[in-house]
Amino acid sequence: MDKLIITCAISGAEVTKAHHPSIPYTIHEVVEEAYQAYSAGASIIHLHVRTDEGKPTQSKIRYKKTIQAIRKRCPDVIIQPSTGGAVGMSRHVRLKPTELAIEMATLDCGTLNFGGDDIFVNTENDIKYFARVMKTKQIFPELECFEKGHVDMILRLHKKGFIHDPMHFSFVLGVNGGMTGEARDFHFLRESIPSHCTYSVAGIGKYEFPLAELAIQYGGHVRVGLEDNIYIEKGVLAKGNRELVEKVVQLAKAYGREIATPHEARKILGIKEFNHEEIL
């Protein structure tokens, strides 16, 4: 089995300091959380940025400054900006971080309800457009699927030549409006993708660690972080992103699965080694 790639989703766009005081807003806070996750074993940082007041933004300048600062502190880590942003943002705004020299980004693979009146819109044409932009700029997409229909959409677009190998899926399960993260959901999804693809699981809330444990056992990879879940165990807030990553490292140890470095993660995913000196 490949070594385990741990992604840490350190901030997200929806969770606030009122939910958890360690949700980072300022660049300094983001860098500190990224460093804590990285030094605990995360090889990928899934990145959303905010204003200092905590408002989600896709500002190119804010991403640029944040990425530069993270690279200083975590020189080899894979930084994966979000092109999902926050509900209601336009295509154009969401794609802003792809104007920077980055090696990876998320690509959301379908529309879904997102709680209350919110709808996270990702039409077929959006997906094709985002995929084309990323392909042109040699940005490796993490294919975020919130339910099985999203996986089917990607497999169809792959057949038609809009999505290219190597394909790396991220099953984000447990969103209010998406698929749940029960064991049967996990098996259904992992068995739905071709065997040459890689996948990671991100369980929202109570699904975070049970899904992490399944992925560790079955050769998948794992995403944790305050974007997805703020508790280390039922009713107990995690100290921060570091503690969530540490728990995955412990789980992996229990199953004899080694943790991938960023260099090893790139090899596993099929991303070429990145020149971090590159001007953003």
Residues at the interface with ligand KMH (CB under 6 A): 12-14, 82-84, 86-87, 106, 108, 120, 144
CA angle at 204 for the pair 255 and 156, rounded to the nearest 5°: 90
> Pick from Zn ion, ligand KMH, none: which does 208 bind, CB < 5 to 8 A by kind?
none
Q: CB neighbours of 71 closer than 8 A, spacing ≥ 6?
A: 77, 79, 276
> Pick from Zn ion, ligand KMH, none: which does 87 bind, CB < 5 to 8 A by kind?
ligand KMH
| Tokens linked to 122 | 């990702």
Closest residue to ligand KMH using C-beta atoms: 84
Contact between 83 and Zn ion per CB under 5 A = no
> Pick from ligand KMH, Zn ion, none: which does 108 bind, CB < 5 to 8 A by kind?
ligand KMH
Tokens 């998406």 — which residue? Answer: 178
- Per the CB < 8 A criterion, the answer to whether 57 and 51 are in contact is yes
- Rounded least distance, CB 126 to Zn ion, Å: 16
* Closer Cβ to ligand KMH, 108 or 126, answer by number: 108
- For the CA atoms of 226, 232, 237, 243, the dihedral, rounded to the nearest 10 degrees, stands at -70
Query: For Zn ion, which stretch binds (CB under 5 A), given 79-87, 114-122, 155-163, 271-279?
Result: 79-87
Query: For Zn ion, which stretch binds (CB under 5 A), given 24-32, 74-82, 91-99, 175-183?
Result: 74-82
* Closer Cβ to ligand KMH, 48 or 257, answer by number: 48
Contact between 200 and Zn ion per CB under 5 A = no
Contact between 82 and Zn ion per CB under 5 A = yes
* Closer Cβ to Zn ion, 9 or 260, answer by number: 9
Strand boundaries in 6-160, DSSP class E: 6-9, 44-47, 49-50, 56-57, 78-81, 104-108, 112-113, 119-120, 140-145
Contact between 198 and Zn ion per CB under 5 A = no
- Per the CB < 8 A criterion, the answer to whether 94 and 48 are in contact is no
The DSSP symbol for 158 reads H
